[in-house]
Amino acid sequence: MSEFAGAREIRFQLYDLLDTEALATRARFSGQGRDVYDAVLDTAERVAAEYFAPHTRAADLREPWLEDGKVTLLPEVKAALDAFAAAGFLGAHHDEALGGLQLPWTVTQACLSYFQAANIATTAYPFLTIAAGNLLARFADEAQQRRYLKPMLAGRYFGTMCLSEPQAGSSLSDIKTTARPRDNGSYALRGTKQWISGGEHELAENIVHLVLARTEGAPPGAKGLSLFIVPRYRVNDDGNRGTANDIALVSLLHKMGYRGTVSTILNFGENDRCVAYLIGEPNQGLAYMFQMMNEARIGVGLGAAMLAHAGYLHALDYAKTRLQGRHPGGKDTTAPPVAIVEHADVKRMLLAQKAYAEGAMALCFYAARLVDDEMTAPDEAARQDAGLLLELLTPICKTWPSDYGPRANDLAIQVLGGYGYTRDYPVEQYYRDNRLNPIHEGTNGIQAIDLLGRKAGLEDGRALALLSARIAATCQEAFATQGLTEHARALEHAVATMRQVTETHLRALAAGKRNEALANASLYAEALGHVIVAWMWLRQALVAERRLAAAAPPEADYLRGKRQACRYFFAYELPRVAPLAAILERMEQTCAETSPDWL
């Protein structure tokens, strides 16, 4: 087991839970198989261990800095990104026609998870480039793809996402950046973008910014936003790098975590010489961006899960070797101290971390599989179902792991005691890094409003019905499995509770009471997230039960650990749904009715 990611864990998630090998029977993945997927995962683990993990702390201690006006990073970052590109990870999931390998999204996300666990901040550069590349592959025209996407897949150009502005964070409808048409079909861009990750650096020949902006005369609000390709350096017709495209670095931002990722404020078109190229149709910018963001959000959730998992592995290892104290029942004060992993309270903290981390991983890989199913499931109905379920699950993939991942890291610090609070151990950094995840790619508060206000009622409730049916199928299996019947009953009950709560809110929404209905959206997201993660744990326990009879240690211990973490989740976590549901059901308005003057 490598120190930052459990190889057995990822294989359990991919093969035991999701039967990923079965994807190879689909035309798009023909010729592939478990051997290919294993080899690809091995390469990911190795490149992550050799090129990413070693500079995680160094990049935290040395945030990107300006040297002669240039953004400068530790040289290890570029070496890691070159290795990432050379190994072929940037284009692995794309069509062969684009030079890709047509690997399933599930598999490439699993690869990504190794890098996230090893070094989330350095991984952000390819993460953004892959996301931007997916968007171009879907919506850009052929000439744009040739000019910008090809070099991105080769690792020569990197990508960014430019949505946020100083006055427009959660509220993208307030975006002010403007695009004025020029004679030749391109646009002149002007505006300030805030927070742009990877916005300026010398890691790549060029940076392709994907910028949301408003064309002249476009309608106000989100309906008037268009999406543009804005290269840092213009690209000549022969593909060579041209002149600088009038994008100024206003400043670097200094952060709590994710410090290896350069965060920038950028001014576009200070001299009115910033050329932008429209992607697709005007005024469709947000729609395009969100298609891409949906995949990115699953990736954010997965990153949060992997940081939680990395912290768990570290805390576990520590707890097995740190000797301290004796069992409360022991009478002999001269007896040697026990390893802290023997203490029930430490076990509680470890089980919670395991339950959060591996539950969140299961959720994100499940969603990644839905991305594959939406694209390649053999029949049309299955593809549609996958797409619908994905829409419902996406905000939960973003919020639940990013909410509970930092909690896991918080517990990892606690397990290490004072040592966990020092920079000599990695757990405090995991916490700081993970703390970004509830904020970016849409805050968890905004995600929750999207979940309750839009997704819960999708297609007249068909999305939620589909989810309930899938959970019910798992419960049926669990009812037939000794030791899991109580869990199945509890989960069925929790699903019924959440359906009831959802009904209540959908009715209020239909009656126009949006303020009241959405006042507790965050609680709704948390409660529904807990139910879904309980489902994920029941699925894992079912696999464990099936396998245990024929398993010898260490595999048998691994499977018992799965069973026990499931038991933990049902005993300590799922019961939290009921009180949340009670607050929701009565549409508690304490917060909504609080005057800002009283605070």
Partner 1 sequence: MKILVAIKRTIDANVKIRVKADQTGVETANVKMAMNPFCEIAIEEAVRLREAGTASEVVAVSAGPAHVQETLRTALAMGADRAVHVETEAELQSLGVAKILKAVVEQETPTLVLLGKQAIDDDSSQTGQMLAALMGWPQATFASKIVLAEGEADVTREVDGGLETIRIKLPAVITVDLRLNEPRYASLPNIMKAKKKPIDVKTVDELAVDVAPRLKILKVEEPPKRQAGVKVESVAALVEKLRNEAKVI
Ligand X SMILES: Cc1cc2nc3c(=O)[nH]c(=O)nc-3n(C[C@H](O)[C@H](O)[C@H](O)COP(=O)(O)OP(=O)(O)OC[C@H]3O[C@@H](n4cnc5c(N)ncnc54)[C@H](O)[C@@H]3O)c2cc1C
Active-site positions read 441
Q: Which is nearer to ligand X, 151 or 438 (CB)?
A: 438
Q: Are the C-beta atoms of 388 and 395 separated by less than 8 Å?
A: no
Burial per residue of 33-52, b for 16 or more beta-carbon CB atoms within 10 angstroms, e otherwise = eeebbbebbeebbebbbebb
Q: How far is the CB of 478 from ligand X (least distance, A)?
A: 36
Q: Which is nearer to ligand X, 253 or 548 (CB)?
A: 253
Q: Cα-Cα-Cα-Cα dihedral of 532, 535, 539, 545, to 10°?
A: 150
C-alpha triplet 412, 295, 160: angle, nearest 5°: 90
Q: Of partner 1, ligand X, none, which one does residue 1 interact with (CB within 5 to 8 Å by kind)?
A: partner 1
Q: Residues interacting with partner 1, by CB under 8 A?
A: 1-2, 7-8, 11, 31-32, 35-36, 38-40, 42-43, 46-47, 50, 86-89, 92, 101, 103, 551-555
Q: Which is nearer to partner 1, 38 or 516 (CB)?
A: 38
Structure tokens at 513: 């009471």
Q: How far is the CB of 104 from partner 1 (least distance, A)?
A: 13
Q: Of partner 1, ligand X, none, which one does residue 258 interact with (CB within 5 to 8 Å by kind)?
A: ligand X
Q: Which is nearer to ligand X, 363 or 446 (CB)?
A: 446
Q: Which is nearer to ligand X, 63 or 545 (CB)?
A: 63
Integer Cα distance of 118 and 45 in angstroms: 9
Integer Cα distance of 584 and 429 in angstroms: 35
Compute the radius of gyration of the chain from its Cα atoms: 24
Q: How far is the CB of 100 from ligand X (least distance, A)?
A: 24
Bin 67: left if φ > 0, else alpha if -120 < ψ < 50, else beta: beta
Q: Residues interacting with ligand X, by CB under 6 A?
A: 160-164, 169-170, 195-197, 255, 258, 263, 436, 439-440, 442-443, 445-446, 449
Q: Of partner 1, ligand X, none, which one does residue 103 interact with (CB within 5 to 8 Å by kind)?
A: partner 1
Partners of residue 228 on adjacent β-strands: 211, 278
Q: In terms of DSSP bridges, do strands 247-252 and 263-268 run parallel, antiparallel, or are they unpaired?
A: antiparallel
Integer Cα distance of 145 and 259 in angstroms: 31
- Position of minimal CB gap to ligand X: 169
Residues 6 or more apart whose Cβ sits within 8 Å of residue 534: 487, 490, 491, 494, 569, 570, 573, 574
Residues 6 or more apart whose Cβ sits within 8 Å of residue 529: 396, 399, 400, 403
Taking alpha carbons only, the member of 45, 36, 60 closest to residue 7 is 45
Q: Which is nearer to partner 1, 88 or 242 (CB)?
A: 88
